[in-house]
Structure 1
Amino acid sequence: MVDWSNLPLDIVAHIIGRLGWLDQIRMRGVCKAWSVSMIDKFKFPLAIRIQYFFRTYQLIYPPLQEQKVVEFDLPKEFPNFCDATVHASSYGWLLFGAKFRNFFLYSPFTNEVINLPDFDLVKELDVATFSLDATSPKCVIFGLRIKGKTISIYICSPGDVAWKTYEFSFDLDTDVEHAAYAGGIFYCVFSGGELGAFNLQLKEWNMLTLEGPADFDFEDLAWDFDFEDSKLIASDGELRLIGKDYSDLNLFKFDFSEKCWIREISLNNRVLFIGCTSFSCPAVGQISQLANHVLSCCEFHPNVRRYGIGNKSYSRQYQNWTRAASYLHIWIEILSRAIWSANDLMTAR
């Protein structure tokens, strides 16, 4: 018997290179060695467009030189409704929710759907996101709503039969804008720049700061139709907040030692992808030219902007990225390790 795991990686890479690009991504999940051999080829995000009427989805890959659009059929399990909202993207999975309906997880790379427990309060949630990382398939879906003087937090995992509810007193007169997950903590930013945190292990809620960044009013964002709210981005152990004040982008990083927001003047050679799904990634390999750029995906004015300079870029690559950010597209980040399957998420403990 031949042990296929001992094949030289250069031969493995040559064989995998003859497959279609989507199969190449899936082949990375076979083992760690195969995944490492393909990392450089897929270390950039994709844009996705869900076509509900035709029950198909399109992957825009890659928007670097000449865009390639590949269309696939949605799985039969994909809910048949047109008012679905994408709340978050993480490691090859998307969290969908719809008013008067329910939440579900979907991976365009494995074409699998995971339905979550019935939840009557979907339409009343203010924010929702989920946790997932490259080291564990344990996934937790998080929702939060403010009602009166109470914050209600709802969590569940794939395979659960019901949601768990936690309630905390809340005396601030403010709205929650966005949520992000990092290192066992769900963070929520409010309309005044206040920052709260829910510790997933301890099931505790704490306000980290009651003050927003100096000289910036996040409430003004409501008047800007092409940048609906502030975006909270967690990456590499750091928490960043980006908002738009008139024509300027404003970026802040949270100082955990001083419990305050500090203004940043550089993206430190990273790229920010902003939209209904938001995240950042290092500008290396094929996206090195996008260092210190913000790609805003929105209905009216998709933009590629260089942070700190304010001038748009007009090279072929930047124009392709802008087209990828057009109406109804979703950013999804490409993980550097294997893509978790539905079975992984359902059986993780």
Structure 2
Amino acid sequence: MVLEDENVASVGRPWSNLATHVLELISSQLSPSDRPHFALTCKHWNSAVGPTYPADICPLLLNCPRWGSNVIRYYSPYFNKNFELDCPFDLSGATLCSSSNRWVMLGWENKIMLADPITGISHEVPLEEVILFSQYGFFWDPTTSKFQIFGISNGGYEDVDIGIFDGESWFWSTYESGLPFFLSSHSNPVLCRGNFYCLGSGGELGVYNLEEDTWTVLMTKPNKFSYEECYLLESEGELFSVLIGKYGLPLHVLRLDECEMMWEKVEKLEGRNLFLGSLTSVSSNSTTLESMENKVFFPRFHGDVEVIRAEVKYSSGRAFFVPKMNGENKRKDESNICWYSLADDKFHLKYFVSKKYVNSIWIDPIVASD
């Protein structure tokens, strides 16, 4: 009997029966891409593996629930969750002005800062002797890590003040077009094939040619459409405008016909989805996400979104939101983001009764750093 007991003791507990807290500790040290393989070992191991959420599936809504708290959230329309991260810099008194890729442009009364909330890298932009523009377009090139800022304000009935920051210094001047132009308050300037485009409140299109240093107003008014809000965005080298009526309806998606320089209505987004409602609007290719295809998303919600305390980790060339161990997650009632389907020609939930995220801006999906 003694010999049998010793043999049993030498065998020990089977791997499949390891304590749950031990498995959780092991899985927390694995890379996000290795966790699914770990979970396939057996049912017990699978139950101990926490979820991971790819951050590169679709655009994200960066939102700041409490200014001054140094906490930011990334809402994923695909997972319908808010991932809350610690912010590496002070956000007190800041305004979200623009975004490009995963970078954001933050504005204070006396300074502008370009920042990557994931890495904590930031660049302060000098404002000495420069007027404060009413709208900014911020453009960051991930291939060169260079950035450019385009600022514009109405100087008069037919005048605009335009400034360009090339990463080192500002250049600005006043331009006259001979035509009235008043900036839309809903949409930042966009960069398309080397030109900066600005949407007027009446649907006009202002174009600044950097190479020729010229400002032109194109009378491309969509007169046959009535609307209260208008947004401008670039997608795969094309310009789109989205017009929204009072209380969200009607909604029209227009593409610029550059041959005729007129807006034409679009019935299908051809594998795209659009993300509007903040100063920066973005688009993405949705051919791999049929559930999101041919839809327009807004930073408006019905109910409260679940909040998960997380951090961003990289694995196998991808970025993931990984929940923190012992993080204080905030489960809310079932919530849904407000979106419009071009296929059905309607909102899936009422636009005008939804709650808008005020301190928010759309950013591109988070991809792994080089």
> Do these two structures clear the TM 0.5 threshold for a shared fold by scoring above it?
yes
Deviation digits for residues 286-305 of structure 1, max 9, x if unmatched? x3311011111159996211
Which deviates more from structure 2 when the two are superposed, residues 171-180 or residues 265-274?
Answer: 171-180
> Structure 1 residue 251: deviation in Å?
1.0
> Structure 1 residue 275: deviation in Å?
2.3
| Structure-2 separation of matches of 1:156 and 1:167 | 15
Deviation digits for residues 38-84 of structure 1, max 9, x if unmatched? xx872312222223231221233x44346252321332xx4531xx3
| Structure-1 separation of matches of 2:153 and 2:365 | 30
Summarize the alignment of residues 289-304 of structure 1 with structure 2, pairs less than 5 Å apart: 289-298=291-300, 303-304=338-339
| Structure-1 separation of matches of 2:151 and 2:302 | 28
Deviation digits for residues 234-287 of structure 1, max 9, x if unmatched? 0111000001123111111111111111111121221110122211111133x3
Give SS of 1:132's match: strand
Corresponding residue for residue 245 of structure 2: 245
Give SS of 1:275's match: coil
Among 216, 222, 229, the alignment partner of 2:225 is 216
| Structure-2 separation of matches of 1:144 and 1:65 | 36
Query: How does the TM-score come out when normalised to structure 1?
Result: 0.70
Residues 18 and 47 (structure 1), Cα distance of their counterparts in 2 relative to 1, 3 Å cut: farther
Summarize the alignment of residues 38-187 of structure 1 with structure 2, pairs less than 5 Å apart: 42-50=56-64, 51-60=66-75, 62-65=76-79, 67=81, 69-75=83-89, 78=90, 80-81=92-93, 84-98=94-108, 100-119=109-128, 123=132, 125-148=133-156, 149-158=158-167, 160=168, 162-177=169-184, 178=187, 179-187=189-197
| Structure-2 separation of matches of 1:44 and 1:87 | 21
| Structure-1 separation of matches of 2:181 and 2:114 | 29
| Structure-2 separation of matches of 1:326 and 1:168 | 35
| Structure-1 separation of matches of 2:116 and 2:164 | 20
Asked whether the equivalents of residues 93 and 108 of structure 1 are also in contact (C-alpha less than 8 Å), the reply is: yes
Asked whether the equivalents of residues 48 and 58 of structure 1 are also in contact (C-alpha less than 8 Å), the reply is: yes
Asked whether the equivalents of residues 249 and 307 of structure 1 are also in contact (C-alpha less than 8 Å), the reply is: no
Asked whether the equivalents of residues 144 and 151 of structure 1 are also in contact (C-alpha less than 8 Å), the reply is: yes
> Structure 1 residue 133: deviation in Å?
3.2
Letter in 1 for 2:287: V
Corresponding residue for residue 51 of structure 2: none
Asked whether the equivalents of residues 192 and 211 of structure 1 are also in contact (C-alpha less than 8 Å), the reply is: no
Letter in 1 for 2:347: K
Letter in 2 for 1:88: S
Among 304, 323, 328, the alignment partner of 2:359 is 328
Among 282, 287, 306, the alignment partner of 2:285 is 282
Letter in 1 for 2:205: L
Letter in 1 for 2:99: S
Asked whether the equivalents of residues 102 and 119 of structure 1 are also in contact (C-alpha less than 8 Å), the reply is: no
Indicate the percent of aligned positions where both proteins have the same amino acid.
22
Deviation digits for residues 116-172 of structure 1, max 9, x if unmatched? 01156665x2321122234332211010112124221101133x2x42113211333
Give SS of 1:230's match: strand
Residues 109 and 182 (structure 1), Cα distance of their counterparts in 2 relative to 1, 3 Å cut: farther
Query: How does the TM-score come out when normalised to structure 2?
Result: 0.67
Give SS of 2:291's match: helix
Mark the runs of 5 or more structure 1 residues left unpaired by the alignment: 1-13, 20-39, 222-228, 315-321, 340-349
Corresponding residue for residue 22 of structure 2: none
Asked whether the equivalents of residues 69 and 91 of structure 2 are also in contact (C-alpha less than 8 Å), the reply is: no
Corresponding residue for residue 44 of structure 2: none
Aligned residues: 278
Larger Rg: 2
Give SS of 1:174's match: coil
| Structure-2 separation of matches of 1:85 and 1:255 | 34
Letter in 2 for 1:328: N
> Structure 1 residue 94: deviation in Å?
1.0
Corresponding residue for residue 329 of structure 2: none
Give SS of 2:146's match: coil
Deviation digits for residues 89-138 of structure 1, max 9, x if unmatched? 2111112224x333221212212221101156665x23211222343322
Mark the runs of 5 or more structure 2 residues left unpaired by the alignment: 1-29, 36-53, 304-336
Asked whether the equivalents of residues 142 and 156 of structure 1 are also in contact (C-alpha less than 8 Å), the reply is: yes
